[in-house]
Structure 1
Amino acid sequence: MTVLIITHSEDNECIARVAAAIERLGGRAFRFDTDLFPAGARLALGAGPGAGRSTLRTLGPGGGELDLGDVTAVWYRRVAHGRTLPASMDPQLRSASVEEAKRTVEGMLAALRVPQVDPLPAVRFASNKQVQLDIAREIGLDTPRTLTTNDEGAARAFAATCPDGVVAKMLSSFAVYRDGEEHVVFTNALRDEDLADMRGLSLCPMTFQERIPKARELRVTVVGERVFAASIDPEAAPGAEVDWRRKGRELLDAWRKDALPPEVETGVLRLMDQLGLNYGALDILRTPDGRHVFLEVNPVGEFFWLERTPGLPISEALAEVLLGRAPRRGSWSAFLHAPAT
């Protein structure tokens, strides 16, 4: 069995971990770094009699060739289309090349009628934070009151209904680069002075949520039907109280194994069913009075540090699902068996 891994050359150690687990289980893992395509890889997609085999060949040290007809599953992890194209290219031509590379790779994925973790349509659908919260609420998970707006008055009125305060976050990943250094925009608690002066809101909508008191922050990783939970003390490092990612490196060894109450775990699995995902990394808060509040799910979220501490076997679980050794969530099949377009 052959698993095609869709990623890019700067992805982290999770790729090697999952590939090694696939090999241990007797499968073959083929890595496709999308940032090296088209300059550093050759992709041929044949359609119709006489068009030839569909193949993928990666160039340079460690390169290899894959007959796409041998692929039995796909792990869709990350993409970075055309990132290594020469900077000297004419901007218009470079833009066209990136778009053609993107469409070619997406066409390849759509044409591979094999199980995918997860199908691109499912990943895109599930990445919508408003959809996540709506579905989570409908199936009975506890969720925070949330408002996305670029209206100052609406934001202030919403904040007035939140007795424990309000936090602001972005729907997309965003970073500001100053002097070559990356400054990630994290979730932030709003102060009175922030609410008083919101002139910039009209230029960029923001998402506002009621601030939830928390005893533990949970990272819940779902692979197929398995649920892995780890948690951290939000007071473990100064500055991590609102968003633990702000001190993520300092807290790598502070994560501990945890578990969800049965009814919450059932709700999480139902959410994954509704979103059509075999994999997801969920953020959940445990309040001092024992509530579990769902914040969001990342369909391609990180997990590598949880294999170091507290030692959750997520790579092994992914390999088992990809190789058909463990149950896959049934909803992916709707994408697999959709009529070809």
Structure 2
Amino acid sequence: MTILIVTRSDDLGASGAVTRALQARGEQVYRFDTDLFPTQLQLVLDERAGGRISGPEGVLELGDISSVWYRRSAMGGRLPREMDPQLRRPSVEESRRLVFGMLAALGVFQLDTLERVRRAEHKPLQLELARSLGMEVPRTLMTNDPEAVRAFAASCPEGVVAKMMSSFAVYDEQGQEQVVFTTPLEAKDLEDLSGLELCPMTFQERLEKRLELRVTVVGDRVMAAAIDSQRLPGAREDWRREGLALIGAWQPYTLPEPMEQQILGLMEALGLNYGAFDFIVTPEGRHVFLEVNPAGEFAWLTRHPGLPIAEALADVLAGCAARR
């Protein structure tokens, strides 16, 4: 039997670590790089969910798949850019539907199913579930109404920050990536909220930080790491701005026992086997939930501070640890 890893060609660190951990356990692994489909990978699927995948790693019969790690998706990534957009769009969509349809029809354990991942990505749902489980969450407003934003900001004595519910980047004229980070709003920003009618945003009360946490959950294993984001001015509002500079400074962190149980409760409510949680620790020691990413990155944490995340994923995929 074979474990199928669904990802893309540029995903090397995390998927490579899990592949090695699985192979060390004697498991067979097949990598499906979705950006190679449909140009360099072939998929055959019949009405009984039988068929095969053919590509750079050889041929895999679908009936030989024992479990799936759904990690990244980039269907149609190698289609010619000069292709007529009216033809390219349906090609990408048909490719997505075939691959996702194959995954839905397989009938094997998946970490995690596309349906569970898509549901878990809803930030309003995350905040409501976390709050109902007893976690502290920041006061939050998600809107395209400028007057509602100004009223919300007036009720937050420490100020507000703006963020997006989805992660994305824009590119300048030189092709340089400009990532949209969490940003505090000044008075002049609140005066001019033009453009909000074109795209809603998320606004939260600004919280003073002592530490920021990344808590990675795999099955029933909860692994926490902390970073002192206040040590660098550029990282104080969003540690990702100085992510490379801080990469070696992550330290193991011990969570309060009640908090660990709340985190597992949220994983259960979302039906997830994997989740990457972000928390703020305030100077008073309060732990404030920000979000959970059902497909969040973790590779750097396997080096600093050395969390056994790849091994935990391999255990769940191989059926050696608890699953949801």
Task: Specify the TM-score bucket, using the shorter chain as the normaliser.
Answer: over 0.9
Match status 1:222 vs 2:217: yes
TM-score, reference length from structure 1: 0.93
Matches within 5 A, 1:252-331: 252-329=247-324
Match status 1:97 vs 2:94: no
Matches within 5 A, 1:133-152: 133-152=127-146
Partner residue, 2:24: 24
Deviation at 1:73, TM superposition (A): 0.6
Query: Partner letter of residue 23 of structure 1?
Result: Q
Deviation at 1:238, TM superposition (A): 2.3
C-alpha deviations, 1:223-264, integer Å up to 9, x for none?
000000000002122200000001111110010000210001
Query: Partner letter of residue 261 of structure 1?
Result: P
Identity %: 58
Partner residue, 1:161: 155
- SS of the aligned residue for 1:200 comes to coil
Partner residue, 1:34: 34
Query: Partner letter of residue 80 of structure 2?
Result: P
Give the unaligned 5+ runs of structure 2.
none
Query: Partner letter of residue 27 of structure 2?
Result: G
Query: Partner letter of residue 155 of structure 2?
Result: T
Partner residue, 1:333: none
- SS of the aligned residue for 2:196 comes to helix
Query: Partner letter of residue 307 of structure 2?
Result: L
Partner residue, 1:337: none
TM-score, reference length from structure 2: 0.98
Match status 1:57 vs 2:51: no
Partner residue, 2:105: 111
Structure 1 stretches of at least 4 aligned residues deviating more than 4 Å after TM superposition: none
The 2-side partners of 1:227 and 1:113 are apart by 27
Deviation at 1:42, TM superposition (A): 0.7
The 2-side partners of 1:12 and 1:169 are apart by 28
Q: Is the 8 A contact 1:236 1:251 kept in 2?
A: no
Partner residue, 1:7: 7
Partner residue, 2:124: 130
Q: Is the 8 A contact 2:276 2:294 kept in 1?
A: yes
- SS of the aligned residue for 2:162 comes to strand
Q: 2:236 aligns with which of 238, 241, 248?
A: 241
Deviation at 1:215, TM superposition (A): 0.8
The 1-side partners of 2:180 and 2:83 are apart by 31
Query: Partner letter of residue 236 of structure 2?
Result: E
- SS of the aligned residue for 2:266 comes to helix
- SS of the aligned residue for 1:274 comes to helix
The 2-side partners of 1:7 and 1:236 are apart by 35
- SS of the aligned residue for 1:266 comes to helix
C-alpha deviations, 1:165-184, integer Å up to 9, x for none?
11000011121101111100
C-alpha deviations, 1:133-171, integer Å up to 9, x for none?
011111111100100011111001001111111100001
Aligned residues: 323
Query: Partner letter of residue 316 of structure 2?
Result: V
Partner residue, 2:61: 67
Deviation at 1:90, TM superposition (A): 2.1
- SS of the aligned residue for 1:301 comes to coil
Give the unaligned 5+ runs of structure 1.
330-341
- SS of the aligned residue for 1:235 comes to helix
The 2-side partners of 1:159 and 1:3 are apart by 49
Query: Partner letter of residue 302 of structure 1?
Result: E
Query: Partner letter of residue 39 of structure 2?
Result: A
The 2-side partners of 1:185 and 1:45 are apart by 40
C-alpha deviations, 1:281-336, integer Å up to 9, x for none?
0001111111110000000000000011100000000000000101112xxxxxxx
